[in-house]
Amino acid sequence: MERSRTSLTVEGRKVPLCLFRPAVAGPLPGLLYFHGGGFTSGSVEEVEITATALAESIPALVVAVGYALAPANPFPAAIEDAHAAAVWLAERAGPLGVAGHDAGGHVAVSLTLLARDRGGPEIAAQALFGPMLDPSLTRVGDGEGSVTDCARCYRAYLPEAALRLHPYAAPLESRRLGRLPPILIATAQNDVLRPEAESYAARLIDAGVPTEVTRFAGVSHAGLANHPPALAAAADFFRRRLTGARPDTSSSR
């Protein structure tokens, strides 16, 4: 595995990129990965296990993106950083996938909406691990996790109340979910965020988006992105969508 670093400058901000390239000859698909942290914390240094597993298993050139964090850089700074990273990676690898955990799942979703509306770059597939998707917090469950913490994170990321209805900030409220890339959503059985993620899946199915949902028991929200069965499911999904490989029926779900 070859690891390297570079950065982009977006609206005067430095956006760190950490590249994970497996030892595979020939061209590779590209995968952007967005870390968790509730929009206010996290970094590319924290995703080595996830990024390495996906890079080797797909295989793909995985680029972890150090998108701008709130409250210093509220919406839409993170998704502008994500879009710039997508343009950069699309020039170097393809086809292109995106993935993210927690708030990174939200960034990934927002990026697919933004790329669709701006006419590119084309994103072929997306995978979400326990995503934060509902600023209204009206679809939370009774599982592990703090709704109070989620509310604090959304206040930092979306400081103006009107922003919480913006389609890029509140995808569950959007009436325009068509023409989005195929998606895999991985959830944890006892995660307080599971209902909103599965509600989003239902909305995408209604909009005609190819959608797969896999729920995992015995794993926490925080541990979902490093959970071997979840990583295996995501790698299998991206192999099919980015390389045209047949499904891997040997992985444990």
Contact 3, 19 (CB under 8 A): yes
Neighbouring CB atoms inside 10 A of 120's CB total 12
Residue 60: what residue type? A
Give the model's pLDDT for residue 249.
54
Q: How far from each other are the two terminal CA atoms of the chain, in whole angstroms?
A: 26
Q: What is the pLDDT of residues 173-187, one digit of tens each?
A: 999 999 999 999 999
Q: What is the pLDDT of residues 201-238, one digit of tens each?
A: 999 999 999 999 999 999 999 999 999 999 999 999 99
Residue 251 has pLDDT above 80, yes or no: no
Give the model's pLDDT for residue 13.
96
* Phi and psi torsions of 213, nearest 5°: -130, 130
Residues 6+ apart with CB under 8 A from 7: 14, 15, 16, 17
Helices (H), 67-206: 77-90, 103-118, 147-157, 194-206
Give the DSSP letter of residue 54. H
Confidence of residue 140 (pLDDT cuts 50, 70, 90): confident
Residue 105 has pLDDT above 50, yes or no: yes
Q: Which of 143-147, 152-156, 189-193, 219-223 has the lowest mean pLDDT?
A: 143-147
Contact 65, 81 (CB under 8 A): yes
Q: Locate 238 and state its tokens.
A: 């991206």
Residue 144 has pLDDT above 90, yes or no: no
Model-level pTM? 0.95
Residue 111: name the closest of 128, 129, 86, 136 by CA: 86
Q: How far apart are CA 158 and CA 38, in angstroms?
A: 12
Instruction: Give the rounded percent of residues in the chain with a pLDDT score beyond 90.
Output: 90
- Which CB contacts under 8 angstroms, 24+ apart, belong to 207-210? 207/177, 207/178, 207/180, 208/178, 209/177, 209/178, 209/180, 209/181, 209/182, 209/183, 210/182, 210/183
Q: Which of 2-16, 171-185, 237-251 has the lowest mean pLDDT?
A: 237-251
Q: What is the pLDDT of residues 67-92, one digit of tens each?
A: 999 999 999 999 999 999 999 999 99
Confidence of residue 139 (pLDDT cuts 50, 70, 90): confident
Give the model's pLDDT for residue 247.
67
Give the model's pLDDT for residue 244.
78
- Per the prediction, the chain carries an average pLDDT of 94
Residue 40 has pLDDT above 60, yes or no: yes
Contact 93, 61 (CB under 8 A): yes
Q: How far apart are CA 30 and CA 67, in angstroms?
A: 17
